[in-house]
Structure 1
Amino acid sequence: MIFRDSDLFDILDLVRTAGQREILPRFRRFDAPDVVEKKSSIDLVTDADLETEAYLTAELLKQWPEALVVGEEACESNPALVSALADADLAFVIDPVDGTFNFQAGLPVFGTNLAVVKGGETIAALIHDSVLGDTLIATKAAGARWLRADGIEAAIRVAAATDLSMMVGTISINDISREERRRIAGNLAQTKMAFAYNCSAYEYWLVATGKVHFIGHHKLMPWDHLAGVLLHEEAGGVTRRFDGSPYLPGQTTGGILSAPDADSWEMILSRVVLAS
């Protein structure tokens, strides 16, 4: 199956339409949105997630009928879709509303992630903010750009390396033991400021545009990370799993860390992620 760089802009049109049609009309509704707990009170799904994913899946399969579509909500009923990513000729990975907890709480800190995977490699990606209408977009070996809703666009770049005491960053600790949370939270006190948005889309947005220095996660679901990792790397950053290996489609374990460069990556890993 053929995927051209220009096809990403057709997909962006679909994502924008989905935002206008399925996400924004359900945001900050006066009547309570349909919210269902998946695994816990902070792991939620809403009708916006379900309808957005259904719309994008159907539209993508119209153009690429043989492609694999891996949506976060579809994987709830068919987890095997994730492992199929590694061998797929062409796949689209979707998180329709990344940051559902924020969305249902009325906080405009959520986004739509979409990654294009071909032959086990992420070749294109976007993160779209339906509220502002802005998008980060990247294709492999062609850099990453910020497309504003008003038509202005510019290349993005990660933050410059600096001492840990001057860095702003976060390590997500929601999916680890309380003892590990205490340890990492204590290590983050070495930084200038630690932050958390409970939203991979916005965390990758900030680290890829140089507003923060690093982000890290222990849980590696592809819809949370594939798009953001390509954007960060194309903006000049270094992202690796905690063991130093590259993050590849289909991997769900091992932890992941994004930093300005290789030296910063090593320093943050040793002093924040691993230090006792």
Structure 2
Amino acid sequence: MVIDPQRVTDIIRETAQLDVLPRFRKLADDDIMEKAPGDVVTVADYEAEVRLSKALGALAPGAEILAEEAASRDGLELDDYHSDADTWLIDPVDGTRNFSKGETPFAIVVAYVTGGRVEQAWIHLPVEDQTIVAERGSGAFVAGGERLAISNDVAIGSMTGLINFRALGDSVSVEQMKSRAEAFSELRNFRCAGFDFVQLAKGNKHFSLYRRLWPWDHAAGSLIFSEAGGYVARVDGREYRPLERTWGLLCAPSEKSWQDIHEHLSTPN
């Protein structure tokens, strides 16, 4: 089933305007909670997720909904989540810690999965009122605007990106990762995966290496970056499928640069 991308964009924008932006920099102390030590959630997350789940569910009757806050509340173990049904993936406020502090960036992230693969994706930046949309095989676009294109391949010494120093697992020490990371031009963590993927797809940075993968965080962005011309694969080289519980994802401008980055970080000193 192909979902009308404009209808989803409209739903997401409405959610941002009604549930998210009115709370930005106006949260009371009791509007901010902890799901787990160090993992915050706000009333805006909950309210936005309810609206998105109801509206998106009505667009695709029969599709399942996997949303971050409901999964946390219900104690869902993603290792045990298996479904052949079409699935909505929803992160109502990606970058919640930034949002809770009255800081940017933060985003609303939605993906539509069919047969275990992301087929359509949306990342909305509420403050900028900008939505990035992608459909498999059709490219990635700013909604109502230009087509996105990634940055060109450059030498490692000229690359800007993001590195989680534990993303390659026990085979590579954190100390080695930090040492090898010094070769890159600049590393920056926005603490918002959705915004990070937008920067990748717009060509404002070259690569990102993520460790802990949540489907609502990385599914939409992986398709958007791929459709903008980038190369995405798990750190073991396999295709990324968001409903398979795994860790380690590397996004780079091309397969060659993916290999160059992986080899640079993983080759023993």
* TM-score when normalising by structure 1: 0.90
Change (3 A) 1:8 1:32: same
1:3-42 pair list within 5 angstroms:
3-5=1-3, 7-29=4-26, 31-32=28-29, 34-41=31-38
Q: How far did residue 78 of structure 1 move?
A: 4.0
Structure 1, gaps ≥5 residues long:
none
Q: 1:79 to 1:173 in 2, by over 3 A?
A: farther
Of residues 155-164 and 184-193 in structure 1, the stretch that sits farther from structure 2 once superposed is 184-193
Q: State how far apart, in whole Å, the 1-side matches of 2:266 and 2:90 are.
A: 28
**Closer/same/farther in 2, CA of residues 182 and 29 from structure 1, 3 Å limit:** farther
Equivalent-residue separation in structure 2 for 1:31 and 1:218 (angstroms)? 32
CA distance in 1, matches of 2:117, 2:256: 25
Q: Which amino acid is 2:112 matched to?
A: V
Query: In 2 relative to 1, CA 70–266 (structure 1 residues): closer, same or farther, beyond 3 Å?
Result: same
Residue 108 (structure 1) shift: 2.0
Write out the 4+ residue segments of structure 1 that deviate beyond 3 Å after TM superposition.
30-33, 80-84, 173-177, 179-183, 273-276
* Residue 159 (structure 1) aligned with residue 151 (structure 2): yes
Give 5+ residue unaligned stretches, structure 2: none
Distance 2:160 2:57 in 1: 40
In 2, Cα distance between the equivalents of 1:96 and 1:172?
24
Offset from partner CA, 1:82-128 (integer Å, 9 cap, x none) = 754x5332110001100001001111201011000012111100100
**Quick one: structure 1 residues 117 and 30, their matched pair in 2 at CA, closer, same or farther if it must change by over 3 Å?**
closer
Counting aligned pairs with the same residue, the percent is: 32
Count, aligned residues:
266
TM-score (norm 2): 0.92
Contact 1:243–1:254 (Cα < 8 Å) also in 2: no
CA distance in 2, matches of 1:130, 1:14: 12
The one of 107, 115, 126 equivalent to 1:130 is: 126
Larger displacement relative to structure 2 (103-112 or 248-257): 248-257
